[in-house]
Amino acid sequence: MGDQRTRKATPRRLAALVAAVLVLVALAWIVEWRVTGTTQSASGRPAPGYAVKVMRGDTVLKQFSVAALRALPAVTIIADGKPQHGPTVQTVLTAAGVTSFTTLEVRGMGLRDSGRLTLAAKAVTGDTILDFNDRGTVKIVSPTMDWRLRVRDVTELRVH
């Protein structure tokens, strides 16, 4: 009799485990949708409401939609063996009125990485770019930047 209860409990446990996994997947999908405004990973369309702010302290100097970033002059670089395309960070900062800074703090959504990177001004070169990705956001990349340090889904460029 003890065996029959164990056998019946096992399918119930398995069903509960499957249900829990489905709930977690659904929650992850909802979080992705709420944060980025899209769940279409290869849409290439800008996520609704997504923008990159250039800030000095708590002051927003300028906010760029994806369309505004696409309107800036762009370059193509090779980083991690792949072509990356977008405006240079210097171009974006100049368009926001930034003429000098000592450090640049890059902030992102933090969904797929730490969401933070601080660069000295001398590390922000002509091949440090905001690459357009397939999710309708941008990531910061450079041929000299360790791929693990990149920030995807950039939301702020804070100059200090």
pLDDT digit string (tens) for 103-160?
A: 999 999 988 788 999 999 999 999 999 999 988 999 999 999 998 888 999 999 999 9
Residue range of the domain that includes 16: 1-36
26 with 101, same domain: the answer is: no
Residue 110's pLDDT is 85
Residue 94's pLDDT is 98
d(CA 125, CA 108): 20
| 92 within some domain | yes
57 with 29, same domain: the answer is: no
Domain count, the chain: 2
Residue 118's pLDDT is 96
31 with 77, same domain: the answer is: no
Residue 45's pLDDT is 62
| 41 within some domain | no
| 43 within some domain | no
Q: With 60 as the cut, is the pLDDT of residue 5 above it?
A: no
Percent of the chain at pLDDT above 90?
Answer: 60
78 with 101, same domain: the answer is: yes
Residue 3's pLDDT is 54
Task: Pick the more confident residue, 26 or 71.
Answer: 71
59 with 25, same domain: the answer is: no
Q: Measured between alpha carbons, how far is residue 123 from residues 6, 104, 142, 150 in Å?
A: 62, 9, 10, 13
47 neighbors 135 (Cβ within 8 angstroms):
yes
| 13 within some domain | yes
Residue 120's pLDDT is 97
| 9 within some domain | yes
74 with 97, same domain: the answer is: yes
**Overall pTM surpassing 0.85 (yes/no):** no
| 31 within some domain | yes
65 with 30, same domain: the answer is: no
105 neighbors 116 (Cβ within 8 angstroms):
yes
